[in-house]
Structure 1
Amino acid sequence: MYDYDARPDLLAERVILVTGAGRGIGEAAASAFAAHGATVLLLGRTESHLDELYDRIEAAGQPQPVVVPFDLEIARPEHYAELAAMIEREFGRLDGLLHNASIIGPRMALEQLPGIEFARVMNINVNAMFLLTQALLPLLRASEDASLVFTSSSVGRKGRAYWGAYGVSKFATEGLMQTLADELENTAPNVRANSVNPGGTRTGMRAQAFPAENPEVNPTPQEIMPVYLYLMGPDSKGVNGQALSARA
């Protein structure tokens, strides 16, 4: 795993939004951020999953999180504006944004991939990520030290057959991160953008992609959190435009 030992108060007083916070890597990241002192905004489509995580964080005596039911598939620009207005009203800034929500879509040759399926994956994995980033950038700029983290994939760094729209969307994720990092370097040096390839992880999405695989061969989402904590905390200040991996 990525070698980083986060101190207990690493994220104290920070406000961090996590997309796809209800399950998998998003849930683990939100839990880890809260355990290290952050006020976490739990964004996801299934409110019951977010409520369960809210209860666990509150029961642990960690900073009170905020549940943000939000469907990235159907959200319109005004919904992103409303979300940004809520965060500004309640907190005045945003110190971190983890883009984690995505869908895998059909794993098949691009030649046979239905256009509607390609469009759906790109809408959730790329378009929504762009719109959310754009809406929240003013709040990130208002922070003294803000971090944008994009969850990528090995198939977004080297193309692989039969990964369909998902692989293409993760290449787009890397491109969005790199473009944004280059723009922010001079216009907002207090905001950094980087990506993380989590590698094979014991999640529902991994099981969907590899139904015959023994899940025990992969680490749990909790085991890959060091790199996410590093990027969200002040120790990564000055690290910008980098494509990191959770597993060495």
Structure 2
Amino acid sequence: MNYQPSADLLQNRVILVTGAAHGLGRAAALAFAAHGATVILHGRREAPLNALYDEIQQAGYPKPALFTLDLMSASELEFRAMAQAIGDQLGRLDGILHNAAERYRPAPLELQSLEHWLRHLRINLAAAAAITRACAPLLKAAPDASVIMTSETHGHRPKAYWGAFAVSKAGVEALVKIQAEEWELHPQLRINAVIPGPVRSPQRLATHPGEDRRRLPGPGDLMPWYLYLMGPDSRGVTGKVFDCSWAGTDSGN
């Protein structure tokens, strides 16, 4: 993508990034902050979030906020409390990047337990829907708000051994289309999904341990997509799935 964002693209915006500690979430949090946003860093563990918080501060970007929450065990009340805290402490919310995901190793369906299925569906899909619902009043109050969901190649084109993970990501794409239709009367709101494709990330290392990672783009290479979709230049673009798979890589494995 040849998109060239302005330096102040996200000036004065508040953006929540789930799964911000590593990989694409970390790269996006840094990119959003570098373009003027106050970023809310979400994750399950505080230590890696603190390291990212310090990096953003040292770079001179707007002071971020931290929010730790285990998406597997969080209740409806806790999701509402997070939205309430964002409103009370920051006064607004202009965007969400849903990047948190359960890591996955391919396995036959016969070996995927009920607990395994429920964990993937909850973390990859249901928690994102719950956070968006809890934050909807803040998003609707914003003059221009964007939600980005993270899909995955195998959710878009299912393949053997990807089971619960693929189904949860296929659900993400369905959720995006449904939510976009339900927001038709709110032209200031938009929601889209991004398929990162093969990229040097912890998830990719877990599923493709023998791969030559030097062939793959880094998380930072995908940031033009994320900046475009999060910023005002994508206003009116909603309910879409953007496949960022890179030519020359095998996105089907």
Q: Could you state the TM-score of these two structures normalised by the residue count of structure 2?
A: 0.95
Asked if the contact 2:105–2:207 (Cα under 8 Å) also holds between the matched residues in 1, the reply is: no
- Deviations along 1:161-192, one digit per CA (max 9) or x if unpaired, are 11121100000000111100011012x21110
Map 1:188-203; keep pairs closer than 5 Å.
188-203=186-201
**Conservation of the 8 A alpha-carbon contact between 2:104 and 2:207:** no
Instruction: Give the aligned partner of residue 220 of structure 1.
Output: 218
Q: Which amino acid in 2 is paired with 1:33?
A: F
- Whole-angstrom distance in 2 between the partners of 1:106 and 1:245: 22
Q: Which runs of 5+ in 2 are unaligned?
A: 247-253
Name structure 1 gaps, 5 residues minimum. Answer: none
2: CA distance between counterparts of 1:120 and 1:198?
22
Runs of 4+ in structure 1 over 6 Å off? none
Contact 2:199–2:216 under 8 Å retained in 1: yes
Task: Say which of 209, 212, 232 aligns to 1:211.
Answer: 209
Name the structure 2 match of 1:88. 87
Once the two structures are superposed, residues 28-66 of structure 1 have per-residue CA deviations (whole angstroms, 9 ceiling, x without a partner) of 000000000000000001111100000000001100000
Q: CA deviation at 1:217?
A: 1.2
2:38 counterpart residue number: 39
Counterpart CA distance in 2 for 1:202 and 1:66 is: 26
Q: Are 1:100 and 2:99 an aligned pair?
A: yes
The 5 Å alignment of 1:1-248 reads 2-186=1-185, 188-247=186-245
The alignment partner of 1:185 has SS state of: coil
Q: Give the length in aligned residue pairs.
A: 246
How far apart are the structure 2 equivalents of 1:139 and 1:91? Answer: 11
Q: Quick check: 1:6–1:230 contact (8 Å CA) kept in 2? A: yes
Output one character per residue of 1:167-224: Cα deviation in whole Å (capped at 9) or x when no partner.
00000000111100011012x2111000000000101110000011111111110111
RMSD after superposition: 1.0
- Whether the 8 Å CA contact 2:105–2:206 is kept in 1: the answer is no
Describe the SS at the equivalent of 1:18.
strand
Q: What's the CA shift for 1:106?
A: 4.0
